[in-house]
Structure 1
Amino acid sequence: MSWPAALLWVLILAAAFSNGPGLLYLLMICGAFGSLQMLPGSGGANLLPQSACAAVFIGKVMIQPGNIRRGIEAALDPQRLVLFSAFLAYALFGALVLPRVFSGMIEVVPVSAFRFGTDILKPGAGNITQSGYMALSYAATLAFTVIGQTEAMRAHYRRALLSAACALVATGLVDLITFSLNLGAVLEPFRTATYALLTDVEAEGAKRVVGLMPEASSYGTACVGMAAALVFTRPLYHAGNEQMLVMIAIGGLVLMTMLSTSSTAYVGLAVFGLVYGLDLLVRMLDAGNPRRDQIGLEVGLIVLVVFVIFATFVIQPALFDPIVAMVDKMVFQKSSSASYVERSLWNRVGWHAFLDSGGLGVGLGSIRVSNWVISILGSTGLFGALMMFGFIAQQLVAAPRNATRKAVVFATVTKLALVPVLVMYQLAGTIPDIGIAASAALGMIAAAHTPRPAGRAISRPPPPAPTPAVNRLSEARP
C-alpha cells in the first residue's frame, strides 16, 4: 500500500468518526484519484478511494437511528428506487447463475482481458467484483435518497461538488507540470491500480492530461460531468466569493477537458452545450420558470465569450489551428484509430453475447464493452435493461412528489447535469456499474420525492408529527 492510500484511509476513518459533513466532501474529492489502489499488495481486485470512502459513508448513514427504515421505504417506493432495487436483485442473481448456465457456449471479451481478442465465457472473479461495485452504487443511491431531503444536505452536496471540481483541476495541473518538468515519478505512488494505465500518452505533440486517473478518457469525462453539474447548479450557490470560485472551477474544468484530448469528453462537452442552450431558451421563453433569476448574467457571459473568441479568430486565426487539428484527429478521424477498432470489437462481441444468450445476458462482470447500453444488455439481458433504463428515465422525467420549490429546482438542475454524463456512458461505458458520482446524483433526485404517508385510512388530519431525525450529515449547518 502506497503512502497516499494510507493517508486517505486515515482521513476516511477520521471523517467517519467526526460530526458534520466531512465524509461527504471527502467522498466527492476521492473521485479525482481513479488510479490509486487502496488495498495492500499488487495483485487481485482494485479498491479505489471513492469506493472505499463510499462504503464507509453508506455505513455511517445507515447506522443513524431510523435510517434503515427510511432506506427500506425508499427502496420499495415505486416513484423512488423500486426499479433500481428490482434491477439489483436480478443482476446479482444473474451474476451467480448466468455465467454457469452459458459457460463454454458464448464468446466474450472478459473484463480482465489484457490482450486484443476474445475468449469463451466462464465464471470468474469479475462476476464477484462487478457485482460488488454495482451493489455499492445502489447502496450509495439509497443513502443519498435517505439523507438528501433537507435544504442543508443539498447545500452540502453542492459544496462537495465544488470541492471535487477543484480536486480534478488541481490533479490535472499537477500531472501537466510534472510531465513538463520530467518529474513523472513523483506521481507513481498515486498510480498503483493493477489495470492498464495510459498516463504518458501524447497527441499531436501535446501531453494528454490524465490527472490522477488511469487514462485521458476517464479524466476528461469526469471533468465534463463536473463542469455540467457546476454550470447548472451555479445560481444555487451563495452570491459573491462562492459563485466566483464556481466560475473559476468551471473554466478550469473546460480547459482540462480540452487538454485531455478525449474524443468522448469532446462529444460530452458538445452535448452539454446543447442541453444548456436548450435549457436557456426554455427559461427565456417561460416567464414563470423559477430559474430565471440570473438569466441576464448568463446571456451576458455567453455574449462576452463569443465576442472574445470571434475577435481572437479575426486578429490571430493561426491560434486555432492546433485546436482544429486536435478535434479533427480525436473526433472526426477516430474511426481510423486502433482504439476505435478494439472498442468496436468489444461492442460487437458484447452484442452477440446478448443475442446468443437468448436475451438473458451473461452476468455482471462477464463482458467488456465500450457502450453502456450494450454492457447492460449483455450483462443483465432485456429484463435487467428495462428495469435499469426505466429507473433512470423515471428519475429524469417524473416531477418530484409533493416537493418544495427549492427541491424542485435542485432536482431539475441535477437532472440536466446528468444528461451529458449518460451520453458519454454510451460512448465509453465499459462495465454496467454507473459509478458513485452518478449514483449520488440519482439519489439526490429521488430524495426530492416526499415519502408517502405511513397510513391511508385516516378520517381526519393527524396531529403534527415531530420532524424525523436525519443523520448528522444533514443536521450540520451549511
Structure 2
Amino acid sequence: MGVEPIGIVTLLVGVFCLLRGSGPTVIAFSIFPVLGGAAALLLGSTGIQPGHLFLGLLLLSTLMLHGNPSSTVDRALRSQPFAWLVLLVLYGVLAGYFAPRLLQDTMTIVPLGPQAGAGINGTIPLGPVSGNFTQAVYLFADLVTFTLILAVASTPKGFRHVAIGLMGFGAANVFFGIADLISPGTPIEGLFAYIRNASYTFHADELVAGMRRIIGSWPEASAFAGASMAVIGYCGTLWICGRHNKVSGYLFIASCILIVRSTSSGGIAGLPVCLAILYATSLFRCGGPTGTRASLAVVLAFPIAALLFIFVLVLSRDVYQLVYNFIDVIILSKPTSLSALERGSWNASGISNFFDSYGLGVGLGTVRTSSFAVALLSNVGVPGTLFFLLFLLTGILMPRGTPRTYEADVGLAARNGCLCLIVGALISGSTVDLGLVFFIMAGLRSAVPRGVRGPAAEPA
C-alpha cells in the first residue's frame, strides 16, 4: 500500500476538520469528490480516491465524535429512499457474485476494466471480473454517503453545511477547469500530475476542432462535463431561487461556458436539457409575493434571447457557418467516429447481455457500456433498475418541505443537480455508480429539516 501526496493532504485536511467539528467535516467531504482522477491510496493497481478516503473520516465524525449512531440509524430506517437503495445494493452485490458464475461462458461481454485475454473486438466469455468487486465497493460507499448526509442534513445546521459544501464542489470544479484551460506552458501543468495519478487513461492533450479539451481534475472531458452539469443544475437553481445568488450565479455561468469549451459531445448535447430543466423551474418559481428577480428574468429573457440568436444565425452567414462547423465536429459527425462506433458496440453488447440473462442482468460491475440506462439493465437487470427508479421517485422527485422556503429551494436545487447529472450519465455513463456527489445531493434532497436559517430570497 502506498500513500500519495494528495492522500497526505486529504488526511491532514480531515484531521483538521475533525478537530473543528462536524460542519467543516461535511463541507470538506462534499468538496473532495471533485478529485475524480486522483488516487489518495494505492493498493496494488487499485486506487482509493480522496473522496472515498474522506468518507471514512465523515463516518468517524457522524457516528462517534460529533454525532449519535442511534439517531443516524433511526433516520435511515425511517427513510423510504434508503430502503430502496439498500435493496439496489444488496441485489447488485448478490448478482455480481452469482450471475457471472451461474451464466459463465453462455455469452460474450465487454468487460469493465482491464481484462486479460480480451478478443479483437474487446469481448470475452462471461465470467467473474475485477469490476464485480470494485463496483460493489463503490455502490456500498454510495449507500453510506447517502445515509450519513441524510442524517447530517436532518438538522438545520447540518442542512446548511451540506448546501454550502455542494457550492464548494462547484467552485472547485470551476477552479480546476479554468486552471486546466490556462495550464499549458505554465507551472500549473506540472501540479496537475499530483491529482491525475490514478490508474486511468487521461485524455489531457486531445484536440477537437483545433481546441485542446478541458478535463479539469477528471480523467476525460465527458467526466468533467458530467460534473459540471451537476453544478449547473444545483447552482443554477439556487440562483433562480435567489439563494446565495451572487456565488451561485457566477458558478452557473462559468460551468455553462466550461462545458462548451470542454468540447465534450455528451456535455454539449446534455446542456440544452439541463437549461430546459432550469427554465421549467423558473416558471414555477416566479410570480407571487415570494417570486424572485432571477426567475422572472429567465422566464422573460430566455425566449427573447433564443429568438435573437436565431435571427443572428439567419442574417449572418459567417456566424451560422462558424456555429454549424463547431456543432458538426462535436455532435453531428460524432456517430461516425471510431470512439462513437466503439461505444455503440458496448451498448449493443450490453443490451444483448440483458436479454440473454432473461432480464436479470449479468452482475454488478460485469460489463462496460456507454449509457447509464444500458448499464442498469445489463448489470442489474429489471429488479435493480426498478429499485433505482423507486429510489429516484421517493428520494429525489417527490416534493418536500414548505414551498419557497430556504430548505425547499435548496432541496429543489439538489433535485435538479441530480437530474442534470443523470442526463449526462444517460449519454455517456459507463457504470451503475453515479458518484459520491450524486448521493450527497440525493441525501440533501431527502432530508426535511425544520427552521433552517438561510439568506432571504431576492424578491422580484
The TM-score by the shorter chain falls in which range?
0.7 to 0.9
- 1:9-54, Cα deviation, whole Å (9 max, x unpaired): 321232234314222222232233221111146x422211222222
Instruction: Give the secondary-structure state (helix, strand or coil) at the position aligned to 1:211.
Output: coil
Taking the aligned partners of 2:195 and 2:420, their CA distance within structure 1 comes to 28
Equivalent position to 1:4, from 6, 23, 38: 6
Given that 2:153 and 2:160 are in contact with CA atoms closer than 8 Å, whether structure 1 keeps it comes out as no
Distance 1:245 1:313, change over 3 A: farther
Tell me whether 1:421 sits opposite 2:421 in the alignment: yes
Matched with 2:168 is 163
Q: What amino acid sits opposite 1:364 in the alignment?
A: L
Q: What amino acid sits opposite 2:124 in the alignment?
A: D
What is the CA-CA distance between 1:335 and the residue it aligns to? 0.7
What is the CA-CA distance between 1:388 and the residue it aligns to? 1.1
Given that 1:67 and 1:146 are in contact with CA atoms closer than 8 Å, whether structure 2 keeps it comes out as no
Size of the aligned set, in residue pairs, is: 448
What is the CA-CA distance between 1:264 and the residue it aligns to? 0.9
Given that 2:18 and 2:25 are in contact with CA atoms closer than 8 Å, whether structure 1 keeps it comes out as yes
Distance 1:405 1:280, change over 3 A: closer
Taking the aligned partners of 2:406 and 2:296, their CA distance within structure 1 comes to 21
Matches within 5 A, 1:332-343: 332-343=332-343
Taking the aligned partners of 2:173 and 2:126, their CA distance within structure 1 comes to 37
Aligned residues with identical type, % of pairs: 20
Given that 2:81 and 2:392 are in contact with CA atoms closer than 8 Å, whether structure 1 keeps it comes out as no
Given that 2:84 and 2:388 are in contact with CA atoms closer than 8 Å, whether structure 1 keeps it comes out as yes
Matched with 2:457 is none
Taking the aligned partners of 2:310 and 2:318, their CA distance within structure 1 comes to 13
- 1:337-375, Cα deviation, whole Å (9 max, x unpaired): 111111111111111112111222121111111111221
Matched with 1:174 is 179
Distance 1:117 1:313, change over 3 A: same
Taking the aligned partners of 1:436 and 1:291, their CA distance within structure 2 comes to 32
Higher mean alpha-carbon deviation, 319-328 vs 246-255, is at 319-328
Taking the aligned partners of 2:231 and 2:77, their CA distance within structure 1 comes to 30
- 1:424-455, Cα deviation, whole Å (9 max, x unpaired): 111111111121111011111111288xxxxx
Matched with 1:124 is 129
Structure number with higher relative contact order (C-alpha < 8 Å, ≥ 6 residues apart): 1
Distance 1:410 1:2, change over 3 A: closer
Given that 1:80 and 1:449 are in contact with CA atoms closer than 8 Å, whether structure 2 keeps it comes out as no
Distance 1:308 1:244, change over 3 A: farther
Given that 1:361 and 1:378 are in contact with CA atoms closer than 8 Å, whether structure 2 keeps it comes out as yes
Distance 1:40 1:79, change over 3 A: closer
Tell me whether 1:386 sits opposite 2:386 in the alignment: yes
Higher mean alpha-carbon deviation, 334-343 vs 245-254, is at 245-254
TM-score by length of 1: 0.84
Tell me whether 1:136 sits opposite 2:152 in the alignment: no
Taking the aligned partners of 2:76 and 2:320, their CA distance within structure 1 comes to 51
What is the CA-CA distance between 1:146 and the residue it aligns to? 1.0
Given that 1:400 and 1:449 are in contact with CA atoms closer than 8 Å, whether structure 2 keeps it comes out as no
Matched with 1:359 is 359
Matched with 2:224 is 219
Unaligned runs of at least 5 residues, structure 2: 454-460
TM-score by length of 2: 0.87
Matches within 5 A, 1:317-332: 318=318, 321-332=321-332
What is the CA-CA distance between 1:70 and the residue it aligns to? 3.3
Distance 1:356 1:316, change over 3 A: closer
Tell me whether 1:37 sits opposite 2:13 in the alignment: no
Matched with 1:461 is none
Matched with 2:458 is none
Taking the aligned partners of 1:162 and 1:280, their CA distance within structure 2 comes to 20
Given that 1:225 and 1:417 are in contact with CA atoms closer than 8 Å, whether structure 2 keeps it comes out as yes
Matched with 1:271 is 273
Instruction: Give the secondary-structure state (helix, strand or coil) at the position aligned to 1:63.
Output: helix
Taking the aligned partners of 1:158 and 1:313, their CA distance within structure 2 comes to 40
Matched with 2:376 is 376
Taking the aligned partners of 2:204 and 2:363, their CA distance within structure 1 comes to 31
Given that 2:362 and 2:380 are in contact with CA atoms closer than 8 Å, whether structure 1 keeps it comes out as yes
Higher mean alpha-carbon deviation, 202-211 vs 10-19, is at 10-19
Distance 1:147 1:205, change over 3 A: same
Matched with 2:94 is 93
Matched with 2:80 is 79
Distance 1:25 1:305, change over 3 A: farther
Given that 2:283 and 2:299 are in contact with CA atoms closer than 8 Å, whether structure 1 keeps it comes out as no
What is the CA-CA distance between 1:418 and the residue it aligns to? 2.2
Tell me whether 1:51 sits opposite 2:37 in the alignment: no
Matched with 1:251 is 253
Instruction: Give the secondary-structure state (helix, strand or coil) at the position aligned to 1:420.
Output: helix
Matches within 5 A, 1:175-324: 175-179=180-184, 181=186, 184-234=189-239, 243-284=245-286, 287=288, 291-292=291-292, 294-299=294-299, 302=302, 318=318, 321-324=321-324
Matched with 1:396 is 396
- 1:157-176, Cα deviation, whole Å (9 max, x unpaired): 22222222221121112212
